[in-house]
Structure 1
Amino acid sequence: MGHYIEVESGVKVYVEDIGTGQPVVFIHGWPLNSKSFEMQANELALQGFRFIGIDLRGFGKSDKPWTGYDYDTQASDVKAVVDHLGLENFVLAGFSMGGAIAIRYMSKFGGQGVDKLMLMGAAAPLFTQRDDFEINLKPEEVDGIIEQIKKDRPAFLAQFADMFFEQEQSPEFLHWFQMLGLEAAAHSTINAAVALKDEDLRSELAGISVPTTIFHGQKDQICAYALAEEMNKQIPNSVLVPFEQSGHGINGDEPEKFNTELVNVLNGSEVK
């Protein structure tokens, strides 16, 4: 079933809520929405878990206000959903930008209610390079992306889909992926890209105290595999699960391995 939950006065986000059991809260990547996890929703419900997929503000079926695309506000929106649904002992699973927002949730709210953390292709601790951080995109490359979105958002999303996956996907799948991106507002897509470019989570990794599993594609062209190695070094009690055949979209490139590893983590049988 779907819920619309008010996260601040006049702003509602859409939440997909499927199955029963321990809740697993999924935060999607830029510029997608919770539908990007449909194969996980199905599998988790079958395995006795409760899938909760949040459409972040500006994306999917959620309201699309002009402001609030910084990680602080997005993490507060997640907290509002958690509080509204009364979630406890849940698994927080963030993909790409959603992984960054999950880390901010952990630091801003002391990981309230979180039993385990999963970071999947996470855009963390930084999405863009700094003088003292040489991994991933240069800030001006993100500026270039923003210009492309302003010029021709559908064409950009088609090109982005090609970068997103390492394995060959059907034309229909890639079209579906583009449509997910088009469900977002243009201003949301741009403002969230600015957050990706500017936000810095480096000081927030050491304080994460729950068991953390990092899923990352070794051929990722959007969030370099070196980011996963950095997170694994900095987050205490973290386990890195490499996806050798995957680009950024690991649940599309290696769907069977992704779901198997996901259920292993949820059942507490992951390799330490």
Structure 2
Amino acid sequence: MQTEVVGGGGVRLGVRVVGAEQSRPIVFVHGWAQSSLAFSPQLADPGLAERYRLVAVDLRGHGTSDVPVEGYDDPGLWAADLAAVLEFAGAPAIVVAWSYGGLVLTDYLRVHGTEGIAGIVLAGAITELGRGRPGGKVGQAMRAALPDALSEDIAVALPALTTLCDGMASRPVPGALAQALLGSCLSVPPAVRAALFRREVDSADVLAAVDVPALVIHGTEDAVVDVSAGEYAAGKIVGARGRWFQGVGHLPFVEEAAEFTSALRQFAGGLLAR
């Protein structure tokens, strides 16, 4: 089901929903210049859908959501967006944050703490932003794509975004999905793609204050977000468990969909048991 919620500043956020309304919710938050379509393997998994309510949001400026002119550097708005999604999903929820989605999650934690959150999963995620911040270290594929990927000139941006999408996975992914990833990039206006990087984020204290179970999943061959960013988050969050997917890139939930989904089921099942 496709629907929408109203986030910070009245921005309409598109959400995809699968599963029973009364079930424990799992909320999926995608990355920079992507959309909820990235989590298609999980939304289509009957084992997850039968037991959990799966809610995948399109961030502001992405996918089916509104594209406001400003606000992409405001942690309060990002926090309000995720708060609206959690309220819709039916908290407490498990939050799965991929790539830039990790920043959105830390924005929420900075404002609300872990209110409404049962557990967090960081998948190839950054939790910081800015030069020299270990939680935001990017890989070669992202460095090579910038700044051309931010250009309004399609002749400049398209090759950079194509190269970036090609570099997301360490092994071939289905052609339809590969094209969907590129299509998601191109659907995000260049001004939005650029605005997402115009802030400095330090999350050491935020991560250290997390008091719910946490799982960090990161591919050892991630060329978009360096594996050290995942190691940093796992080291800061008390009691966090790390799962390093060997030979996997920036799309662990696609490249090793079965293993990723199994790890998510195990993590969620442990929370239900508690």
TM-score, structure 2 as length reference? 0.87
- How many angstroms apart in 2 are the aligned matches of 1:265 and 1:102? 18
Q: Within 2, Cα distance between the matches of 1:113 and 1:193?
A: 27
Displacement of 1:114 in angstroms is 0.6
Match of 1:3? 3
Secondary structure of the equivalent of 1:193?
coil
Q: Which amino acid aligns with 1:104?
A: D
Partner of 1:160: 164
Structure-1 residue corresponding to 2:64: 61
Shift of 1:80: 2.0
Structure 2 counterpart of 1:120, one-letter code: A
1:104 to 103, 107, 112: 107
Q: Tell me, what secondary structure is at the counterpart of 2:170?
A: coil
| Residues 134 and 18 of structure 1: CA distance in aligned 2, closer, same or farther (over 3 Å) | closer
Q: Is 1:262 aligned with 2:252?
A: no
Structure 2 residue matching 1:263: 3-state secondary structure: helix
In the alignment, residue 27 of structure 1 is paired with which amino acid? V
Aligned to 1:194, the other structure's residue is in SS state coil
- CA gap of 1:34–1:107, structure 2 versus 1, over 3 A, is same
Evaluate the alpha carbon distance shift between residue 135 and residue 60 of structure 1 in structure 2; reply closer, same or farther with a 3 A threshold: closer
1:4 Cα deviation after fit = 1.9
What's the CA shift string for 1:39-95, capped at 9, x where partnerless?
111215444111001101000000001112134321211112223x26222101110
Aligned 1:106-145 pairs, distance under 5 A? 106-124=109-127, 126-130=128-132, 133=134, 136-137=137-138, 145=146
Structure 2 partner of 1:74: 78
> What does the per-residue CA deviation read over 1:93-126, in whole Å, with 9 as the maximum and x for residues that have no partner?
11011012112212310211111111111112x3
**Do the aligned partners of 1:57 and 1:64 also contact (CA within 8 Å) in 2?**
yes
User: Is the alpha carbon distance of 1:15 and 1:173 closer, same or farther for their aligned partners in structure 2, counting shifts above 3 Å?
Assistant: closer
Residue matched to 1:18:
18
CA distance in 1, matches of 2:198, 2:262: 34
Q: Which amino acid aligns with 1:118?
A: V
Q: How big is the shift at 1:255?
A: 1.3
RMSD between superposed Cα atoms in Å: 2.4
Decide whether aligned partners of structure 1 residues 134 and 192 sit closer, same or farther in structure 2, where only a CA change above 3 A counts: closer
Equivalent-residue separation in structure 2 for 1:137 and 1:33 (angstroms): 20
Q: Would you say the 8 A contact 1:99–1:123 is kept in 2?
A: yes
State whether residues 148 and 157 of structure 2, in contact with CA within 8 Å, keep that contact through their aligned partners in structure 1.
no
Q: Which amino acid aligns with 1:115?
A: A
Change (3 A) 1:29 1:111: same
Indicate if the aligned counterparts of 1:4 and 1:13 stay in contact, CA closer than 8 A.
yes
Query: Which amino acid in structure 1 is aligned with residue 64 of structure 2?
Result: K
Whether the 8 Å CA contact 1:245–1:254 is kept in 2: the answer is no
Equivalent position SS for 1:92: strand
- Paired residue for 2:255, among 250, 253, 261? 253
Q: What percent of counterpart residues are identical?
A: 23
Cross-structure match for 2:55:
52
Once the two structures are superposed, the pairs formed by residues 172-211 of structure 1 within 5 Å of their partners are 172-195=176-199, 198-211=200-213
Once the two structures are TM-superposed, the CA of residue 9 in structure 1 deviates from its matched residue by 4.5
TM-score (norm 1): 0.88
Partner of 2:98: 95
Q: 1:40 to 1:174 in 2, by over 3 A?
A: same
Q: Contact 2:161/2:182 (CA < 8 Å) preserved in 1? A: yes
Matches of 2:135 and 2:104 in 1, distance apart?
21
In the TM superposition, residue 230 of structure 1 has moved relative to its aligned partner by 1.3
Aligned residues between the structures? 263
Q: Distance in 2 between matches of 1:250 and 1:211?
A: 20
